[in-house]
């Protein structure tokens, strides 16, 4: 029974993921005024759960293969990653849950004196490719749809309807891809311990992410939707579609990546396709700093927590 309480850290991590990363799904649509915030969070919650249940196990296997930690140390990793995400969310910084959980795992491994960085190469390469993928899809899709669709529609009413449907469809797809790819960051480490099965992990993770979406997701939407480059409804649709395609692509190879990096790359791609001078480099630099500090902070926290547990070993049983 006591070990089941360790799942609370995973739920906390899921809450932080939902609160932070939901901005990457409908943030651009809400900021551009195409869709209401309440509608956005309901759609996000539903499709996050769906993606987690149907495809979440694909990436859970990757995370669980990185560690053979006990349930207690898995709890420490998720608590450290969750606290890191909570702080970054409070400061309205889009952050990477993938980097947070991997950083936390490495922090524990460093304390134990047996870090195995060889297994990280595939994941780190995918982290680097994530914003590049967002930029690639965004530039291509922006130019294609503007030429063959937007420029052909002359009715303002028809355009507005098209933009609304585009935001709803791409946002729902983005939420599905977020659940499928990132649920592994929430409960994946518990699968390796045998505490829960991968399917149960996907279910718990999906609902905890949805909880974060419903309760504390509004703050980061302004940063994503307006802070990097001003977005019109068409650009908002393209950026979310590009992010979703990037996430779903990495899901198929079983690597959890950052939805924040994907959408920031996509939004930057919009700036490149339109006019690179519209990109707010100050905000972009601030976000990049958040990405760098995420794994470092999570690793530091997990190391500190394990060290404290080591000091209290005579008083605690785990």
Return the higher-pLDDT residue of 37 and 176: 176
Q: What pLDDT is stored for residue 284 in this prediction? A: 67
Q: What pLDDT is stored for residue 112 in this prediction? A: 84
pLDDT confidence bin for 268, thresholds 50/70/90: confident
Return the higher-pLDDT residue of 289 and 36: 36
Q: CA dihedral defined by 25, 299, 110, 247, rounded to 10 degrees?
A: 10
- Beta-carbon count within 10 A of 16 CB: 29
| Global confidence as pTM | 0.89
Lowest mean pLDDT segment, chosen from 35-49, 55-69, 198-212, 225-239: 225-239
pLDDT digits (tens, 9 = 90+) for 208-236: 999 999 998 887 765 655 555 567 889 88
Closest by CA to 240, choosing from 17, 23, 45, 51, is: 23
pLDDT digits (tens, 9 = 90+) for 119-163: 778 888 998 899 999 999 999 999 999 998 888 888 989 988 999
List the structure tokens of 252. Answer: 């198929």
């Amino acid at each position: 029974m006591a070990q089941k309480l360790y799942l609370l850290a995973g739920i906390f991590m899921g809450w932080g993921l939902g609160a932070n990363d939901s901005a990457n799904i409908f943030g651009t649509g809400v900021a551009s005024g195409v869709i209401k915030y309440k509608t956005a969070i309901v759609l996000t919650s539903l499709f996050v759960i769906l993606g987690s249940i149907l495809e979440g196990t694909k990436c859970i296997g990757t995370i669980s293969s990185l560690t053979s930690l006990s349930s207690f140390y898995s709890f420490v990793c998720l608590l450290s990653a969750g606290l890191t995400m909570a702080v970054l969310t409070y400061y309205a910084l889009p952050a990477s849950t993938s980097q947070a959980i991997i950083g936390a795992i490495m922090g524990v491994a460093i304390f134990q004196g047996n870090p195995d960085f060889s297994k990280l190469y595939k994941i780190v390469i995918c982290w680097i490719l994530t914003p590049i993928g967002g930029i690639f899809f965004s530039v291509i899709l922006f130019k294609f749809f503007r030429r063959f669709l937007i420029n052909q529609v002359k009715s303002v009413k028809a355009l507005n309807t098209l933009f609304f449907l585009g935001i709803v469809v791409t946002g729902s797809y983005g939420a599905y891809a977020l659940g499928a790819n990132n649920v592994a960051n929430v409960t994946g480490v518990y699968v390796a311990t045998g505490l829960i099965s991968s399917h149960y992990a996907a279910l718990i993770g999906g609902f905890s992410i949805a909880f974060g979406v419903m309760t504390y997701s509004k703050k980061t939407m302004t940063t994503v939707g307006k802070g990097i480059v001003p977005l019109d409804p068409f650009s908002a649709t393209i950026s979310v579609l590009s992010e979703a395609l990037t996430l779903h692509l990495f899901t198929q190879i079983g690597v959890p990546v950052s939805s924040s990096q994907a959408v920031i790359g996509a939004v930057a791609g919009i700036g490149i396709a339109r006019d690179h001078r519209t990109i707010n480099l100050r905000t972009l630099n601030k976000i990049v700093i958040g990405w760098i500090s995420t794994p470092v902070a999570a690793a530091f926290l997990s190391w500190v927590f394990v060290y404290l547990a080591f000091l209290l070993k005579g008083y605690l049983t785990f």
